[in-house]
Amino acid sequence: MASGASKQRLVILDRDGVINEDSSKFVKSADEWIPIAGSIEAIAALSQGGFTVAVASNQSGIARGLFDIQALDEMHRKLSELVVAAGGRVDCVAVCPHGPDDDCECRKPRPGLLLQIGEHFAVGLESVAVIGDSLRDLQAAAAVGAEPILVRTGNGGRVEAELPQELKSIPVFDDLAAAADSLLASIRE
């Protein structure tokens, strides 16, 4: 693990709808976990470009009894293996297993998952890029002073049309690959 990663070089990604296809019926197994075109390569490029890559994901399907921790671990193993095969790595995965009514601190839009990642790497989250496809991803990022970035994949197209005023000026990209390209270009400048 890359502890001591500088805050400018940490990037936090939502999972469903950003890295892999989302489903209204939940992604419940490694077989159902299907990467969005270009997302695995984008993570590898970020990793190769010097970014520490973390994933922060609400997974209420666990609380709902739709799948268990073993199935979730298999999904994340698949993610990691695909990224490694593409020449990169995922440095940390933080998950909220609670349901929407559990009143936990880790379920986005609350900032708990992001704070866990910051503590894991011993860094502040100010200006860290947080890439998501839902309003709750963006709200969690804003709550910790991170830089919310929206992608149009998953729920992002709908969310873009409904952004609240305080988030209207955030960067918006077609997908994770385009967002990664922009982040990598910004560190070369």
* Residues identified as active-site: 14, 16
Q: Do 10 and 121 touch, CB atoms closer than 8 A?
A: yes
H or E stretch covering 146: none
The b-or-e profile of 127-139 (16+ CB within 10 A means b, else e) is ebbbbbbbbbbbb
In which region does residue 65 sit, left (phi positive, over 0), alpha (psi from -120 to 50) or beta (all else)? left
- What is the residue-wise DSSP string for 71-110? HHHHHHHHHHHHHHHTT----EEEEE---TTS--SSSTTS
Q: Which residues pair with 138 in a beta bridge?
A: none
In which region does residue 89 sit, left (phi positive, over 0), alpha (psi from -120 to 50) or beta (all else)? beta
Q: How many CB atoms lie within 10 A of CB 161?
A: 7
- State the angle between helix axes of 69-85 and 39-48 in degrees (0 to 180), rounded to the nearest 10: 70
